Every structure is written in structure tokens, then in C-alpha cells.
């Protein structure tokens, strides 16, 4: 029989860091969450302007993924590997992700199920097999407290998708527009060249 908790963890959604706020409601939610967790943070030095922007972006991306999972997965779980190389090319780095998730947990807004590798009982020192085999990545989910704050700002789990824009789609749309504009210029240039050839210029 499958462990129901393990079954829930395996059904988790990936945290893609690709959804941004597009409504005043979702912006208000992120602003409230950010203010709360910053109030719990103890720092010796204030963040630089650039670091503040990165931190706020991390909160926005993480809260978006947690809320989407809360609205689309019965158990609310989302997953993300904490390996540094898994954050290569991402908008936020592993250290910022860990910091924000730690503060969300401290505020009672997120719950974590730790991941980790499994020891290999057949491993022999000096042999070809690895001492550990890959296990599950860390799982995270929004708590009832975060959902309550979201509700106060008019944001509900399932409908939160309507409050977000997929930045990948936005980037593709912008790229498509840029490519079309370039193609039009090239076609116009080619047309002018053909006209000059016909005129014998």
C-alpha cells in the first residue's frame, strides 16, 4: 500500500519562478507578506537597493508558486531542489530562495518537507556505485495562514492564476514581436534591392 503522505509529496508541482503579479490584489498580497517577513528578519546591515529589489522579486515569485500549487494540487505541495546548480540561469539564487523560505516558515506562511538523498545499502568503498541515490527534492506548501492573508487581499488559490502573468509567455511574445519587426525590415530591404536591380541602379 502506498504511503498517503509520500503520494502527496510525489504529486507536488514544480516551482518554476515564472509567474509575476499583474493585478492590484496580488501586488497587495506580496507587499503584505514582504512587510511581515522583513519584520521578523534580524540584520546587522541594511540591504543595498539592488538586493532589496532581488529580495522582493524572490518573494513575488515564491508566493506565486505556492499559491498556484494551493489552487491546483489537493495537498498544496510544490517542490524545488536546493542544489546551487539547479538555480543556474534563474532570476533568484539558491541563497535568496533559502532566506525567503526560512522567513516564510518563521511567519507561519509556509511549511517544508525536507528532501534528501537515500543511502545505498549496496555501496562498497572504492567501488563504482555511489554512496547515495537521488531522493525527493524539498517540498513546500502554503499554510492556512498564508491563504487567509491572501483571501483578505481578494486572492484565492485557484483563481490566483488569473492574478499572475507567465513571464515566459511574455518574453516569447516580446521576442516574437521583435522577430516579426526584424523580418519586415529585411523584406522591405530585399524589396528595395529588387527595385534597384530592375532600374539597373
User: Is residue 197 assigned to a domain?
Assistant: no
Chain center to CA of 158:
17
**Is residue 167 assigned to a domain?**
yes
pLDDT, greater one: 147 or 118: 147
Q: How many angstroms separate the CA atoms of 112 and 114, rounded?
A: 6
Residue found by looking up cell 532581488 in the block: 54
**Does pLDDT of 10 surpass 50?**
yes
**Structural domain for 118, as ranges:** 4-175
Please tell me which residue, 97 or 6, carries the higher pLDDT value. Answer: 97
> Does 189 fall in a domain?
no
201 belongs to a structural domain: no
Instruction: Give the angle subtended at the CA of 14 by the CAs of 39 and 74, to the nearest 5°.
Output: 85
Listed residue (161, 164, 167) closest to 21, CA to CA? 164
The pLDDT tens digits for 23-53 are 899 999 999 999 999 999 988 888 999 999 9
Q: Provide the pLDDT confidence category of residue 1 given band limits of 50, 70 and 90.
A: very low
Q: What total of structural domains would you count in the chain? A: 1
Residue 198 forms part of a structural domain = no
Amino acid at each position: 500500500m502506498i504511503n498517503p503522505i509520500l503520494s502527496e509529496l510525489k504529486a507536488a508541482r514544480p516551482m518554476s519562478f515564472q509567474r509575476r503579479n499583474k493585478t492590484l490584489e496580488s501586488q497587495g498580497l506580496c507587499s503584505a507578506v514582504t512587510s511581515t517577513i522583513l519584520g521578523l528578519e534580524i540584520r546587522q546591515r541594511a540591504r543595498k537597493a539592488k538586493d532589496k529589489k532581488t529580495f522582493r522579486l524572490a518573494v513575488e515569485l515564491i508566493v506565486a508558486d505556492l499559491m498556484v500549487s494551493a489552487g491546483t494540487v489537493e495537498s498544496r505541495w510544490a517542490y524545488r531542489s536546493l542544489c546551487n546548480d539547479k538555480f543556474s540561469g534563474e532570476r533568484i539564487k539558491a541563497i535568496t530562495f533559502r532566506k525567503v523560505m526560512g522567513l516564510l516558515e518563521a511567519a507561519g506562511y509556509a511549511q517544508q518537507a525536507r528532501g534528501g538523498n537515500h543511502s545505498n545499502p549496496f555501496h562498497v568503498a572504492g567501488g563504482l556505485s555511489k554512496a547515495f541515490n537521488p531522493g525527493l527534492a524539498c517540498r513546500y506548501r502554503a499554510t492556512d495562514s498564508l491563504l487567509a492573508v491572501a483571501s483578505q487581499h481578494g486572492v484565492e488559490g485557484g483563481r490566483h492564476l488569473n492574478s499572475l502573468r507567465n513571464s515566459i509567455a511574455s518574453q516569447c511574445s516580446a521576442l516574437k514581436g521583435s522577430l516579426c519587426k526584424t523580418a519586415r525590415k529585411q523584406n522591405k530591404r530585399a524589396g528595395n534591392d529588387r527595385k534597384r536591380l530592375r532600374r539597373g541602379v
